[in-house]
A and B are shown apart, each in its own frame.
Chain A
Amino acid sequence: MILTDIQLECVRRFISPVRLEGLGAGLNVLAAPNEAGKSTVLMALRAALTLRHGSKAQAVKEMQPYGGGAPHIGVGFEWSGKSCWLEKRFMKGAFARLDLGHERFDGDTAEERLNDLLELEKNGKSEAIGLWNALLVRQGESFAAPVLNNAGRSSIQNCLEHGVQEVTGIAAAGALLERVRSRLGQLQTAATGKPTGRYKHLLEDQAKAAEHLKNLHAKRAALEEDLVLLGQQRRTLREYENPERQKQEEQKLYQLREERDRLRNLDAEEKAALARKAAAVQQFQNIRDEQERRQEHRAEYARLQQLISDSVKELSELAAQEKTASLRYQAAQAACQKALKHHQVQRAILHHVMQQREVQHQEGTLLRLRENLKHVQESFAQIEQAQAAFDALPMDGVKIQRVRKAAQKVAMLTQQVQAQATVLEMELLPHAAQRVLLDGKPCVSGKNLLHAPAELHVEGVGRFVITPSAGGDTVELQQELHQAQNALTHLLQQIGCLNAEGAEQQYEQHCLAERQLKEAKAVFAATLPDKKGVSPDKVLLELRQNLAREEAAYTQKKHALAQNLASQIGSAQASDLTCLPEKAVQQEQDAAQEVEQARQTEHDAQQVLIAAKAALDKVKAIQQQQETGLIRLQRELELWQGRESDAALLQRLQTCAQEQAEAQAALEHCEQARQKERPLAVVESGIQRLEQAQKTDGENIARLREDIRERETRVRSAEGDGVDERIAEADRLQQRLNMEVAACTRDRAALVLLDQVLRKAEQEQTARYMGPLVKTMQPAFSALFPGSELEMDADFGVAALSRNQREDVANLSDGTREQIAVLVRLGFAEMLHARGVPAILVLDDALSFADSMRLECLFDVLAEAATRFQILILTCHAQLFAPLRGRMLNLRPQESFTAPR
């Protein structure tokens, strides 16, 4: 099939007729810029071949230009050496026409014939589909492997089956597989194979039913247990409440209690006999003890008497020793007193001598202090004089400065006033002196300065008024001068001077007095170098106080010495009192040594006396103790005898022995009686057991009644639920569910197996008939990917390329995947062509991502394929596809749509 002409009108941007010129066998290239209408041409071609003319589907509406219109498409082609023409108008005035050589088909017939020719199948009312959908590759579709619709699959399968000359029936297997999967999908999920739908619900119900049944059985078991225990408890209760049994137990208890009482009496008798016997034994022993005690007392009495007589002798010897020691001690004491007194006198003498020496020393010190004070007082008097002279002067440095300053100001102002004053210079004759009066005063020759209007009276001449010039600052100067003079005068008055010279003289006197004061102070300070910086007044006062203290101390000391002499050493000789201190010290030390010796002697005597006294006291105490013991023994013996004589005691001893024998006899009697009876503990234990049993029976009866009530309540609750009936029902449900689950499981297993087997068969068959497809495609792939082998999948796509190693197509680059997709489409076209079915390949804007090497190879592959069937390339990259050397096509506007005649 070779397209020779394509015309379109009212298709999207082509409202007016346009024609694709230059179409012919082999490679055809329509290279035009973007939005030139390339894709519209492809759209029109697809519409003409696959859309039914009567369709008003969206695809048809999309072809309409803006503003509406009836898309009109004509396709001229050659087929089997015949010129053919396909023309369709859609929407308004829709029609279809197919000319195959001289044959013409119109309307639906034309559509059917076209579908037959191109192996298309109707897909609804609007369109037909087939492998051609994969051959007319729209913009962007070239990147993906062609997705085949059923008709496309069928078409390629037909090609393949035709090729292998064998009916494979894959489509039928597919339909069967679809049913299997549909049925299987009702039982398990497609993705995970987990139970779903009814099967899942059945499994869940089965689990629930099993759980429910288990619970019911548990309930039933609990009920049965309750029933069994209820029976047991009722029987036990009846047994407990049996009156005959209770009566027997009461009787038994009564007998045991009687036995216990008997045994208790026997016990009491035995205890009494034992007590009697014990009392007799004890009394017997007591009497024996009493006898022994009396014997011992008598022996002790004799011994004490002997000891007392020995003590009396020893006592007299010790008293003599004590007396001698006492005398010796008294003599030692007297000697010691004497030595002490002598030592005291010697100490007083020593003290007096030392005191006396100290008084003499104080006397010397006093003389020095007085002398010093005298010098100081003299220096202080000089200071006072200088100070008085200094203080008498009113002038000081400040004042003289102020006077000097005021005098300078007066002088300066005077000079200024004089400089501005009117000078009246007169030279008077000597006789005229009294005749000329200035301001009433006689004038003298010389210059007179006039500061104010002055009246000059010249006798005999007349009166002249001289008025100084009033200009400038004369008046102010005069005022200032006057003020300065007043200030100077005031200052001078304050310091008591008449003028500035007087002030200067006074200042000189001030300076002199100040110097004299300083000198006096320096002399004072030199007198007391350790009191430097202290005020002379204070120093003087301190010196006076110090002297007064020394004097007072001296007086006191002297007085004390006199008193001491009178009181302590009045008897001493005058030579001793005036001796040297060293001698006095020696005498005192000698006396002290004598005292020490006397004391030692006294101490020794005292010790001897104490020892003698102690020995005497000890013997006295022992004797006293012995005498007391003797008295006590005598008293006790008398008391005992008075209470019970020895004879009576002996009589009582015999009576006790008799009582002891009687008690022993009673005990033996009890023992004999006891041997015939059971032990009391056993009897009491029996009673206790029976009493406890009665008590426990009561508690058990109450507990049993309570338990029985509880169990009856539970049993009635359970029986109200109809446990058995519910178990039967649950069991029935369980069995039914088990059967249904088993059926579903069988069904599922069978379907899974069927699915596996069918898929396996389909894959094997696919692999078998894929052979020709691979064979067809392999040369192109080898050209583009040297040394590669193709691996096709069941959907007629390339699953992988094997170049040294297997590579999944999904992992290849976008450009390579596009190239593979184009080669696959090329293969499809080859298959159709080989089977004699019309085939062309149209690529819109494809292969833009191929590198130059690949593109070159692809051009070779396309050029080679184009020798067998027509290939139409639509591109905006004219330069890129120039090396293809294909027929260059043009879109040329037409005046009108021109169908071939």
Chain B
Amino acid sequence: MKFIHTSDWQIGKTFSFADDDTLGALQAARSDAVLHIGQLARQEGVTCVLVAGDIYEHETPERRTLHQPMERMRQFSDVQWHLIPGNHDADTPEGVWARLRREGAVPGNVHMHTHSQAVQIDAAHNAWLLPAVLKRRHTLSDLTEYMNDAATPPEALRIGLAHGSVVGFSNGQEAEHNPIALDRAKQAGLAYLGLGDWHGFCQIDTRTYYSGTPETDRFVTGGAGGGETLVVTIDGPCAQPVISRHRTGKYIWRKLEDIVLTSGEDIDALEARVRHIHPDNPSVVMAWLEVSGLLGVDDLRKYESVILTRLQSAVACLRLTGAPQLAAGIQDLERLDASATVKMAAQELLQKVEQGGEEGAVAREALQRLFLFWHEVEGAAA
């Protein structure tokens, strides 16, 4: 049997650092990921797509956000979509699933599994899906435990689908919630256990995988990063699943940490590094730069020109944390020799900068602007 494993679509997710245009593009990309998955299914000849939770980002999405993925899936009537709730869209009494059912918005080819019981999904291959259903955002019990005892016909292909954290695999806070036994696939005799919650692809064991999100949504996703969808092929109940990873994401998210700029060469190097993320198409690059350092008056102007103007226009989004500071010294004041008055002002600012503190920071900014305006005045005079 061949099927697609995906998870964490998180339709409706917002990105606080992004401006309106970027946000619109990122949200559209998340929605389009469903299309890409559908197209991948057709391309691979797959009729069954398993979505391991977190289809929606919010418990109460807007009407359009609610219906959008359903309508995308409706477009692929030849594909059967099997969904389970995740921690973001748990099957609460008045949650998204109840809303969808109430509004009759679920297409015929979309199956929402809200009961923890075995369901046959492919008669030809005698494939049975064992969904673990989150009834609230967080549980402390292992919802996959029932799979151990869930009855299926003999020789059935038992496929588990769950959303949570594999116990012992992560040290993070998330591991405390929605735990999943590390060897659940083995305990429950599953041919495959498709998991959701991690946004980067991750293999737990030979039968247990996190597919990751089909469209990356974080600079730090864990695992091997997101933007992928898994095509799983299992030849029989006892056969090892064969996994092939397919890129379905549009944007490439990278965070460059601890960038220290001290010279013009550093600036050039930084530009090259960012552009190298996707040299052919930098417009799909989402870059987060943690910048610090000290630059002279000229280099600071270069930083503004190269990074803040050129590079920011080249990539989809350039998120900056920190900035290089002006490294103005006595020698830099010499360029103000034309006006003793301005030089006197610059000297006073420089003294304040050297004193440090909040006032020093303001003085640094003031000094930076003094040099900038001086440059403009000189330019105008010239």
User: Which chain A residues have a beta carbon within 8 Å of chain B's beta carbons?
Assistant: 166-173, 175-176, 179-180, 183, 223, 227, 230-231, 234, 712, 715-716, 718-726, 728-729, 731-732, 735-736, 746-747, 749-751, 753-754, 757-758, 760-762, 764-765
Contact = CB atoms under 8 A, between A and B. Distances in A.
Nearest to A223: B60
Given A231-B93, A754-B345, A762-B341, A179 B57 contact: no
Given A175-B377, A180-B373, A751-B366, A760 B340 contact: no
Contacts of A183: 369, 373
Given A172-B339, A176-B342, A732 B366 contact: no
Central interface residue in A167, A172, A723, by most chain B CB within 10 Å: A172
Contacts of B18: 732
| Residue among B66, B340, B343 with the highest chain A CB neighbour number at 10 A | B340
B280 interface: no
5 contacts: A223-B60, A227-B94, A230-B94, A718-B60, A725-B14
B39 interface: no
Contacts of B362: 746, 749-750, 753
Contacts, number: 144
A176 B377 contact: yes
A721 B66 CA distance: 11
Contacts of A725: 12, 14, 57-58, 60-62, 65
Contacts of A223: 60
Interface string B77-115: 000000000000000111000010010000000000000
Most chain A CB atoms below 10 A, which of B60, B102, B363: B60
Contacts of A231: 93
B268 interface: no
Contact of A757 (B12, B19, B339, B348): B348
Contacts of B65: 722, 725
A172 B342 contact: yes
Contacts of A718: 60
Interface string B350-382: 001000000000110110111001101100100
Given A172-B339, A172-B377, A729 B14 contact: yes
Contact of B16 (A170, A732, A747, A757): A732
A168 B60 CA distance: 67
A382 B222 CA distance: 174
Contacts of B92: 227
Contacts of B12: 722, 725, 728
A711 to B, nearest CB: 9
Contacts of B151: none
A728 B340 contact: no
A751 B369 contact: yes
Contacts of A230: 93-94
Contacts of B366: 749-751, 753-754, 757
Contact of B373 (A168, A169, A176): A176
Contact of A715 (B94, B363, B368, B380): B94
A735 B16 contact: yes
A173 B345 contact: yes
B376 A760 contact: no
Given A725-B58, A735-B16, 9 more contacts: A166-B340, A167-B338, A169-B340, A716-B99, A719-B60, A723-B60, A725-B65, A731-B14, A754-B369
Contacts of A736: 16, 19
A736 B16 CA distance: 7
Nearest to A759: B345
Contacts of B25: none
A735 B343 CA distance: 38
Contacts of B338: 167, 169, 172
Contact of A761 (B16, B63, B348, B368): B348
Contacts of B60: 223, 718-719, 721-725
Contacts of A746: 362, 365
Nearest to B93: A231
Contacts of B345: 173, 754, 757-758, 760-761
A230 B376 CA distance: 65
Nearest to B13: A728
Contacts of A751: 366, 369
Interface residues of B, number: 46
Q: Shortest 3 CB-CB distances between A and B: which pairs? A: A169-B339, A722-B62, A724-B58
A522 B19 CA distance: 150
Nearest to A227: B94
B97 to A, nearest CB: 12
Nearest to A224: B59
B23 interface: yes
Interface string B322-339: 000000000000000011
B15 A732 contact: yes
Interface string B174-191: 000000000000000000
B157 interface: no
Contact of A169 (B66, B342, B352): B342
B57 A728 contact: yes
Nearest to B64: A722
Nearest to B88: A724
Contact of B58 (A168, A172, A722): A722
A715 B99 CA distance: 10
A108 B218 CA distance: 70
B166 interface: no
Contacts of A715: 94
Contacts of B23: 732
Contacts of A169: 338-343
A728 B26 CA distance: 14
B359 to A, nearest CB: 8
B341 A761 contact: yes
Given A227-B92, A736-B19, A750-B362, A765 B57 contact: no
B346 to A, nearest CB: 8
A450 B58 CA distance: 171
A724 B341 contact: no
Nearest to A755: B366
A179 B340 contact: no
A604 to B, nearest CB: 122
A762 B348 CA distance: 13
Nearest to A722: B62
A223 B95 CA distance: 11
B255 to A, nearest CB: 18
A9 to B, nearest CB: 42
B57 to A, nearest CB: 7
Interface in B44-77: 57-63, 65-66
Contact of A719 (B19, B57, B94, B380): B94
Contacts of A754: 345, 349, 366, 369-370
B300 to A, nearest CB: 14
A724 B373 contact: no
A286 B329 CA distance: 132
B372 to A, nearest CB: 9
A897 to B, nearest CB: 43
Interface in B192-213: none
Nearest to A172: B339
A216 to B, nearest CB: 11
A758 B342 CA distance: 7
B344 interface: yes
B344 A728 contact: no
Nearest to A763: B341
Contacts of A758: 341-342, 345, 370
A234 B341 contact: no
Contacts of B99: 716, 719
A712 B94 CA distance: 8
A234 B93 contact: yes
B16 A173 contact: no
A180 B14 contact: no
A166 B345 CA distance: 17
Contacts of A749: 362, 365-366
A726 B342 contact: no
A172 B19 CA distance: 39
A127 B338 CA distance: 29
